[in-house]
Structure 1
Amino acid sequence: MTAPMQVGYADIARVWREADAIEEIEHAWLFDHLLPLGGDPDGPIYEGWTLLSALAAQTRRLRLGLLVTSNRFRPPAMLAKIATTVDVISGGRLDFGIGAGSRPNYPPARREYDAHGLPYHDFDRSVNALGESLTVIRRLWTSEAPFDFAGEHVRLSGAFGSPKPVQRPHPPIMIGGRSSPVLRVVAAHADLWNIAGGGDIEDLARRSRLLERYCAEIGRDPATITRSIHLPVSYDDPGTTRNRIAEARDAGFGHVVLGLPPFYPEGVAGWVADELIKPSL
């Protein structure tokens, strides 16, 4: 994962092209924020889906996505169209990452809503809206006829998606989050579930068990949801990162996203493969 902040476009594109040529690296990610979360608060940051489209056109093999889209930023029907466009450009390599949006108790993320004139509702409302959005997005990707939708948060008339995504029935849906309400949405809608792995590995395992319980309540096999984890990379201490990878895999997280800190050294993708991935296989 290359967070598109405090770096230039050319640096991000270089890392993705390097990674695309390294078979041990299977997927690449951006994030979805509008102002920097770290470093200079007035520093550069790129809009995630626009950048993802450009990188999709410059790669041929990597699966790709945003970790994760804020459902607060874009109306769901528009988001479905954007995601379809990226899936077509990439030739069917999109993993559709989405989440409820940042919590109000994290000021660096909260300020981007005020700065862009975006509403910021309470977290319960944002989680409920996420479920409705996913219902609408999936229908736009799969329905062969226009439809209306009258939800509490989403209302559509004559909604229809054309073209359809390359991937059928639709791109895999990854939902990011750790709260109990979000995990219920994961159980209902996700193909992959992602959680940030900077904390206690036992807490992550407890969250995974909670997801299994929610799956059981709705009659879903929890094995149909891939466990994904985001782990921060240390350039200076790769051994610690390798240990975190091993812990995560032992806890059942088989899909690992390695977050690279900016700035990105020349050859960093090869370094990731040699120092982090190959020793962990």
Structure 2
Amino acid sequence: MTSTESSSRPYGAFPVRIGFQVQPQHAEYGQIRRAVAAAEEAGVDIVFNWDHFYPLSGEPEGLHFECWTMLGAWAEATERVEIGALVSCNSYRNPELLADMARTVDHISNGRLILGIGSGWFEKDYQEYGYEFGTAGGRLDILAEALPRIEQRLSKLNPQPTRNIPVLIGGGGEKKTLKLVAKHATIWHGFGDAETVAHKHAVLDQHCADVGRDPGEIERSVAVSDSPEKVGQGLLDVGTRLFTVSASGPDYDLGLLREWISWRDEQNK
């Protein structure tokens, strides 16, 4: 797909944005806090963590911190960036409680929370913390039940959230996950090269048509680990507008993030 063709796609209306996932593993909290501050100072748009109880790489019993407690601290420690989990695990909290937590962090941050959510997958978390792991399909079915409950609870809370909290759903499952995105999300987050992402976008667009949703309402996000010179234009041409770099502790390297921020500024001129 050419740049001209991509500009006609409905989700091309979103500006290019850059996210930074500060993976809360193998680091003291002070190191995490400094990485978040440095990313905000560098000009990133969104700072994410993740919702796990153990490291996903390196020493499996290494240093690690909990997701939502950290987001509350980030809400106070930051001023401009949006914040959120990439992504919160639906299995770990009652949906009504999660809605209330999200509303509270939304207020603490003056309207900067993104509610990232997924069905969960890391079996060690489930085993160690006493959650039923079940099957991938079963966890997606539970997520499908939870999302309307979250929406209903948000509508009942007093005070109300400061805005319609953006919902990010992560995952590329074409039969269930992308259908949930079409019904409930304002951001879809996935993985892969431009060809893979273009296919997922087409599937998501069809789900939107099936449920009567404007696909232009859904911002398209992808994880990136290469330089923008290598992969940026290809992903941009297929409709991606949010590009998220990740880094792990203890030494959070912002080099690649700064490359993407500079590239973003060129694209948004």
TM-score by length of 1: 0.82
- Is the contact between residue 49 and residue 86 of structure 2 (CA under 8 Å) also seen in structure 1? yes
Alignment match, 2:109: 90
54-63 or 254-263, larger mean C-alpha shift: 254-263
Alignment match, 2:132: 119
Within 5 Å, give how 1:133-144 maps onto structure 2: 133-143=146-156
**CA RMSD, 1 decimal:** 1.6
Cα deviation, 1:62-88, whole Å, max 9, x if unaligned, reads: 001000011111110111111111111
Alignment match, 2:177: 182
Question: 1 CA distance for matches of 2:127 and 2:257?
Answer: 40
3-state DSSP class of the match of 1:95? strand
Structure 1 pair 250/37, CA: closer, same or farther in 2 (3 Å)?
same
3-state DSSP class of the match of 1:204? helix
Question: 1 CA distance for matches of 2:177 and 2:170?
Answer: 8
Aligned partner letter, 2:113: L
Offset at 1:45? 0.9
Task: Give the structure with the higher percent helix.
Answer: 2
- Is the contact between residue 56 and residue 89 of structure 1 (CA under 8 Å) also seen in structure 2? yes
Question: 2 CA distance for matches of 1:216 and 1:190?
Answer: 15
TM-score by length of 2: 0.86
Within 5 Å, give how 1:114-263 maps onto structure 2: 114-143=127-156, 161-167=157-163, 170-180=164-174, 181-196=176-191, 199-232=192-225, 240-263=227-250
Cα deviation, 1:93-120, whole Å, max 9, x if unaligned, reads: 0011001111xxxxxx211111111111
- Is the contact between residue 175 and residue 186 of structure 1 (CA under 8 Å) also seen in structure 2? yes
- Is the contact between residue 232 and residue 241 of structure 1 (CA under 8 Å) also seen in structure 2? no
Question: 2 CA distance for matches of 1:51 and 1:67?
Answer: 13
Question: 2 CA distance for matches of 1:205 and 1:222?
Answer: 14
Alignment match, 1:16: 36
Offset at 1:277? 2.0
| Structure 2 gap segments, 5+ residues each | 1-20
Aligned partner letter, 1:178: G
- Is the contact between residue 242 and residue 276 of structure 1 (CA under 8 Å) also seen in structure 2? no
Question: 1 CA distance for matches of 2:260 and 2:250?
Answer: 18
Cα deviation, 1:100-148, whole Å, max 9, x if unaligned, reads: 111xxxxxx21111111111122222112212211111111113xxxxx
Question: 2 CA distance for matches of 1:277 and 1:142?
Answer: 35
Offset at 1:183? 0.4
How many residues end up aligned between the 2 structures?
244
Question: 2 CA distance for matches of 1:67 and 1:242?
Answer: 25
Offset at 1:273? 5.5
Offset at 1:22? 3.1
Structure 1 pair 206/273, CA: closer, same or farther in 2 (3 Å)?
closer
- Is the contact between residue 189 and residue 220 of structure 2 (CA under 8 Å) also seen in structure 1? yes
| Structure 1 gap segments, 5+ residues each | 103-108, 144-160, 234-239
Report percent identity of matched pairs: 32
Question: 1 CA distance for matches of 2:148 and 2:84?
Answer: 19
- Is the contact between residue 222 and residue 243 of structure 2 (CA under 8 Å) also seen in structure 1? yes
- Is the contact between residue 114 and residue 166 of structure 2 (CA under 8 Å) also seen in structure 1? yes
- Is the contact between residue 232 and residue 260 of structure 1 (CA under 8 Å) also seen in structure 2? no
